[in-house]
Amino acid sequence: MHSQSQTLASGDSPEKMRYQWAKPGDVNAFFGLMLDNLAGLILMVGLLSGFGFPIDFTVSRMVPGTALGVMLGDLAFFYLAFRLAKKTGRDDVTAMPLGLDTPSTFGMTLFILGPSYLQGLEEMGLGELDAAYRTWGIGIWCIVLSGFLKLMLAPFSNWVRTHVPRAGLLGSLAAIALVLISFLPLTEILGHPLPGLLALVIVLTTLIGRIPLPKKTPGTLGALIVSGVVYYLLCLSPTSGYLHAQFPETIDWFPAEWMEAWQGGWLVQFQDALPYLPIAFPFAIGTVVGGIDCTESAAAAGDTYDTRTVVGIEGFATLAAGISGGVIQTTPYIGHPAYKAMGGRAGYSLATAMLIGTAGLVGYFEWLNALIPAPAVYPVLVFIGLEITSQSFIATPRKHYPAVAFSCLPALAFLAMNLPGRILSDPALASIQQSMLNPSLQRDLGTLQVLSSGFILTSLLWAWALAMIIDRRLGKAAAVFLVAATLTLFGFIHSPLPGSQIFLPFGPASWSSMVLNDQYQWQVMEFVFAYLVCAMTLYLWKVLQKIQPLSEEDATDAS
């Protein structure tokens, strides 16, 4: 702020201000964003290997295109930071972070890539390689069409940001941060408690406690080194249960296999991909909402980007990743305030683009995947989640705090269903659980599944509605519930189908693969009627009681 006022006071135009795009804080920010993306790639490879998917196929064909999407997106945000600095005359602009979407990483692998690979093996009788190619083509189609969908929605994103209160945008962001970014990595961190908890304490002490390591070593780098050393020392003990890294015997430093995507062989898999699009599209819409959230979060931290440009860039990066063979979509990360708090500018985005991009394209990701212990990497995710949750409350008016907290409830349902959902997605276990679980527990699991489905949108809508109720704008709250009823009708939220598929509520038999059967129709319609009744109740309440919105003065007093 001081440098900005000096520049303007001296009579210089914003265009003459020299943007300090690389600062010491970029080192910490780089390790944070780079390790976050690296963790996403490691997670994708690990989840697919759980289905028996060939690891060498994933690394040589799926990873390069996925990494290319990250590289192009971060390069675009690097340029966007320069443009904002020139426009505003500020030298402290922080670039928007971009990387692999965590919900999509889970969703694509657990509900699309893994099941389609098993289908190819078990139902179609394909060999491992043919089933892998078929799965790759399905994944590419899902990502390419998700990229087109994002580009179509980008022009409308500014309207959403203008009309949805911060409690809605940042509340859903806090829900993602707590559940997906902070909590889920704890299973890996505390699964190896000695190196994992040590790395977590170092990260939190340096980045939240602001207590530096000796020689001003970046906290993320220090945690990686110290925790990594402890991890490998434990590998020397035969009783610790720790295993040495399994390094590949040979590494293809310039894998050419991923270029097969450019030959268009995946185009013939369109019919096979169609049944999976209802699973992929809600994740794409979720990242659009997340992109709007991230832009609002960046604005709250002092950097006001154009929402349409941000969402457009993530759509372009996702499309480029898909065409190049990538199977996970990219999205702006919700950690902008965290990276700004680290002192990052734009250099960290450029460095991340180059390292993640070259790791995938040149081929040394396979070496990094084997060398870096997951417990040493994942604490960075916990810090980012905590920082975003804090920022969500700081940037929201105090009177709307209950709305932010309310938005976390659907995310908790997703958390509660994460492990049972993975267990019950196995067909053999699913059949067993029908006989083992009592009806009450089955009903509770079904309710949690419906609440967790599309939880990002649900969180936004619930927080938006409650914020409007707090402001005594009951008519707008009723309108939000009408939107929720419409989205429920097509499965964008509260879908009872596996993988949170969207659907048509009714239709002719020829649409049977997209139309709800009798088992689910009443369950969905009851949610729709519930939202409609709530909307009607609030509207009548407003009319009969003549409820007036709070004035600015009243709103301040309420806070």
Read off the pLDDT of residues 7-25 as tens digits, 9 standing for 90 and up.
443 344 545 568 888 888 8
Q: What is the pLDDT of residue 456?
A: 79
* 403 vs 450: CA distance, rounded Å: 21
**Residue range 101-130, pLDDT digits in tens:** 877 787 788 778 998 999 899 888 889 999
User: Residues 114, 50: contact at Cβ < 8 Å?
Assistant: yes
Q: What is the pLDDT of residue 484?
A: 95
**Residue range 508-528, pLDDT digits in tens:** 655 555 667 667 788 888 999
**Residue range 164-209, pLDDT digits in tens:** 887 887 787 788 778 777 887 888 899 899 999 999 999 999 888 8
Most confident of 21-30, 413-422, 532-541: 532-541
Domain boundaries, the chain: 19-110+144-264+280-396, 399-559
Given a cut of 70, whether residue 29 has pLDDT beyond it is: yes
Return the percent helix, strand and coil in the chain, to nearest 5. 75, 0, 25
In the predicted model, what is the mean pLDDT of residues 326-353? 89
pTM of the complete model:
0.73
Given a cut of 80, whether residue 1 has pLDDT beyond it is: no
Higher per-residue pLDDT: 144 or 297: 144
Higher per-residue pLDDT: 387 or 83: 83
SS3 82: helix
**Residue range 235-258, pLDDT digits in tens:** 888 777 777 666 666 666 677 777
Residues in CB range of 524: below 8 A, 6 or more apart = 488, 489, 491, 494, 495, 496, 505, 516
Matching residue, tokens 């989640």: 385
**C-alpha neighbours within 13 Å on the C-beta side of residue 16:** 8
Q: What is the pLDDT of residue 555?
A: 53
Q: What is the pLDDT of residue 427?
A: 45
Q: What is the pLDDT of residue 307?
A: 92
Residue from 124, 118, 139 nearest 258 by CA: 139
**Residue range 354-409, pLDDT digits in tens:** 999 999 888 888 788 778 888 888 888 788 778 778 877 887 889 999 999 999 89
Residue from 285, 186, 220, 233 nearest 36 by CA: 220
* 417 vs 306: CA distance, rounded Å: 35
Q: What is the pLDDT of residue 487?
A: 92
* 31 vs 187: CA distance, rounded Å: 21
Hey, what are 469's tokens? 């109720």
* 261 vs 255: CA distance, rounded Å: 13
